[in-house]
A and B are shown apart, each in its own frame.
Chain A
Amino acid sequence: MAEADNGKPSCRPELGDEFNEKETDQDRTAEIAANAPRYRRKSSTFIDGIHDVSENQGDLAPAQLYSTMSGRLFHSGRIAIVMVGLPARGKTHICVSMARYLAWLGVKTRIFHLGDYRRATVGKGGQVPEDYFFPNASPSSVILRQKILKKCREDIYAWLNHENGQVAIYDAVNPTASSRRALAKEFAKHDVQTLFLESYVDDESILRENARNVKINSPDSQFVGMDPDEAAKLYLKRIDMKIPVFETMNENELNYVKMINAGQAFFYNNVSFNYLSHRIVFYLTNLHIKSRTTFFARAGPADEDSYKADGPLSEEGRVYAKRIAETLIKHREQERQALINKSGEDVPLRPLTVWTSTRLRTIQTAEPLKEMGYQVRQRSQMSQINPGVCEKMSERMIRTLYPDEVEKHELDPYHHRYPRAESYHDLAVRLEPIILELEREQNDLLIIAHESVLRVLYAYLMHCSTMDIPKLKFPRDQIIEIIPAAYQNEAKLIHVTGLDPKCVPGSPEDIRIPVPSGPPSGNLTPIPGMSSPAEMEEPPTRPPEIVVNTAKEMVADKVADED
């Protein structure tokens, strides 16, 4: 197994056994393994699982409305979404976000970054020849290019034909009209529909901003000590030199969406769009490529803690609300200082918006922040899961009164609903507008909500399995910070001190039915320096390991990576 592309220790297991079983051609499997460096199993609920290979894709579809025998949804058949655009246009971010959303809907989706294949082929520290992207490249460069392309395509077909995949997202530059036409023809031969998605940017300020973000995180000596604008310019110039020919999409006979200036405008050419294509456009109209952080905090406790009563915060709850506000503000200021120290320029604090549900406890938890002048918005969809008739019943009582329901619940805790209650699946479907608004929000965002809502939103951002969602824990002495990056999201914990220990643990108004014990589907291994939203009940099964492919490494990689 080649994890050699970056030489970092890896927490992913050897490429999955099931993967080997499915493939009959051993040689080809080895080759795919060698060239698909980022295939890995979900290793922990607090590592973004968007690039993981899962044993059961069905568990990764929190808001799937129905299922089909073929495993494909919306009568859309198999689709290749082919990215088009020069580097620094936010393509990878678009791919990853789109995959996250499609998987959320239950569409089996996998991303194929051509850059991963190229790096794996040329090896660590290797470089592609200077003329690699040139139209008149030397024969050896052309052969190398074709070899890399072939491997990536083989993986795509394996995914669509043998692994029940529905959407393959092909992340590459695809700079010329002729290559795109050839690609569409080739996919059509395999009975795969092609949808091109171009990220086109002619707004200089967006380009420079993207380039600067890359530069800030880059260890590349060439940029050190350079004026940020100069560095950005140099970076963009390098791209132009490396990829001299780029034709924006104008092919009338192809299905394409052109996303202009990071979503300011869209143009699309529709030959045979279906529901899924429109759904993707819908999602993209809500996406932006600015980087911002999401914080999750629980609502404070109430004295009368029941769903129906919707009571106000208790005394400890008011203390909690204050502590949350103070901790968060202090943390944001520290982060800003760290950034200033690193980049050497003054960085303004991004504005912060607070969302609560329309339940009283969440509104009151946000009050200290509101008094400080932060904008607080209430979203009715973010009300907690409806516990139904079992609210506040003891487990024994539920088992006595509803033995059949308990049995069903244990089989499928994510989809089962107790009498009058909502399931987590119901909640996920109800939260869909929130998901899209979450993508749309440009300010930093603090979400104050009930634990059940945090579970589902966290699962969307970190791509958790539906088997894990009902078990995620959000104790009140932690604020969770989700930091987005082009390649994957990172979760971080901020400790809240000075709380009444009584108010820290899980929500008392939850249904008191234990989800089935037995081994969790993902190993809950803590990362050093980050503790977990999943409660550490069982001892870690493996020693702590470091996450591969952190966002920063990816970005650093990008500087030399014109793809």
Chain B
Amino acid sequence: MPRRTNGVGVQAEDAQICVVMVGLPARGKSYIAQKAQRYLRWLSIPARTFNVGNYRRNDAPQPTADFFDMNNAEGERKRRAAAEAAVADMLQWFKSGGVVGILDATNSTKERRQWVFETVSKEGIEVIFVESKCDNEDLIMGNIRDVKTTSPDYKGQDPDAAALDFRNRIRNYEKIYKSINEDGDEGDYTYLKIMDVGKQVIINRIQDYLQSRIVYYLINLHIRPRSVWLSRHGESMLNLEGRIGGDAALSYRGEEYARKLPDLVRQSVGDDRPLTVWTSTLKRTIATARHLPKHYNQLQWKALDELDAGVCDGLTYQEIKDQYPDDFAARDDDKYNYRYRGGESYRDVVIRLEPIIMELERSEDILIISHQAVIRCIYAYFMQKDQEDSPWLPVPLHTLIKLTPRAYGTDEEKTSANIKAVSTWRGKGSTAKHEDPVPEGGI
């Protein structure tokens, strides 16, 4: 059985896991799948989703509900072929070093699950079924509306007709759907069953640490719609001088941003519902949050503090280059892994942010006021940015970012407060105090 090896030729990691989604359409399966993939990659674990629907679309781009009727032999054949193609590709990917493969499909019958289980475990890969079971009609219709506007199956079609067709498609699945271990004869599988959006959960036969870790993450997820707002603190006195770190007060313009933030947030939220506000424990984020309405619940997290620059705290980039030339070069060379003397690396920040991400996943609407490096890491998590890119993302001051997780990705909306501020972005090799970000990419 192929395994990744280290230099000495002995296995270092053993588990390869196939996560098999189970559940009717519009139960948030794709959402869960892509969240899990994004989370694992964020933690540097090779993960990939194989969406059977995408394979089927090659053969039947925009099928009607009839296609999904179990009596439709042609539809049945094509769907089966799509599943086989997806599984074959996944196994190929495991051979090339994949660690967690996610099979995103309904897998709604016992026969299909048994087929997947046998095909995959024959290759020495562990199987864990993840079922999302939900009978709340409002949630389902909400999901349908979401899917109907974002799914490629209904691109360019009348929204109402699409919603109706989708409801019919689900009916066809409902006829044959069997919840996992519903008959009591699937108790030997490893599975996670999430009922009513996490109100009740069953975890069965977890086999190893990585599985438990995935389960842990998934039980923290919910599929209720919500958004996350991100903002850096207002411009600080040290920002003006081009110095990093420190615990400085806001500049005059930073104060202006703090006063404008409540309006900016209210506009972006669209109604009067209160947000929960998380800040770091540093003065500049607390000051930035202080004019927000009293009924917004505010919490300070140490874990949201800026990346600790160690001995370089409070220096300008030019001073760092002069005093620690090797460090300056080493950091540009591998910014994600570089750890400041006596300080932190981006990787360290990701590790300490993990509890925040977990808490974020189980919460509703949250506004986070934090710092450049921390916002980069959180942004990278939601937008699935690579480790090579995330430490270089421009995150301008005095700008509110709204992220809304959806089934097929995360929507992003950014609002500038139109209050001038210095740029704290820095290009590779540069020691400029204030440099304009390169135009392409960025938040």
Contacts and interface: CB of A to CB of B under 8 A. Distances in A.
Interface string B195-223: 00011111111101100110110011000
B85 interface: no
Nearest to B199: A270
Contacts of B116: none
Nearest to A356: B10
B252 interface: no
Given A65-B355, A68-B302, A440-B209, A358 B12 contact: yes
A419 interface: yes
Interface in A254-282: 263-270, 273-275, 278-279, 281-282
Task: Give the interface SS of chain A, mostly helix, strand, loop or mixed.
Answer: mixed
A417 B342 contact: yes
B6 A358 contact: yes
Interface stretch (A35-43, A317-325, A373-381): A373-381
Nearest to A286: B212
A266 B204 CA distance: 6
Given A275-B359, A275-B362, A377-B11, A66 B216 contact: no
A285 B215 contact: yes
A286 B6 contact: no
Interface stretch (A84-92, A237-245, A429-437, A454-462): A429-437
Interface residues of A, number: 40
A67 B302 contact: yes
A286 B211 CA distance: 10
Contacts of A281: 203, 216, 219
B8 A360 contact: yes
B302 A267 contact: no
Contact of A265 (B6, B200, B204): B204
Contacts of A436: 209, 212
Contacts of A440: 208-209, 212
Interface string A54-95: 000000000001111000001100000000000000000000
Contacts of A274: 359, 362
B200 A420 contact: no
A269 B359 CA distance: 18
A168 interface: no
Given A281-B219, A285-B215, A360-B8, A266 B202 contact: yes
B277 to A, nearest CB: 13
B420 interface: no
A278 B12 contact: no
Interface in B1-54: 6-8, 10-14
Nearest to B191: A265
Contacts of A68: 302
A363 interface: yes
Contacts of B198: 270
B346 to A, nearest CB: 15
Nearest to A440: B209
B201 A275 contact: no
A380 B216 contact: no
Contacts of A265: 202-205
Contact of B201 (A75, A270, A429): A270
Contact of B299 (A65, A75, A420, A433): A75
B226 interface: no
Nearest to B303: A66
A275 B203 contact: no
B10, B203, B339: residue with the most chain A Cβ atoms closer than 10 Å: B203
B372 to A, nearest CB: 19
B14, B198, B311, B355: residue with the most chain A Cβ atoms closer than 10 Å: B355
Interface of A: 65-68, 74-75, 263-270, 273-275, 278-279, 281-282, 285-286, 358, 360, 363, 376-380, 405, 417, 419-420, 429, 433, 436-437, 440
Interface of B: 6-8, 10-14, 198-206, 208-209, 212-213, 215-216, 219-220, 299, 301-303, 311, 339, 341-342, 351-352, 355, 358-359, 362
Given A278-B219, A282-B216, 15 more contacts: A65-B352, A74-B359, A263-B206, A264-B205, A265-B202, A266-B201, A275-B362, A282-B213, A285-B206, A360-B8, A378-B8, A380-B12, A417-B342, A419-B341, A429-B351
Closest 6 CB pairs of A and B: A66-B302, A282-B216, A266-B203, A285-B212, A265-B204, A419-B341
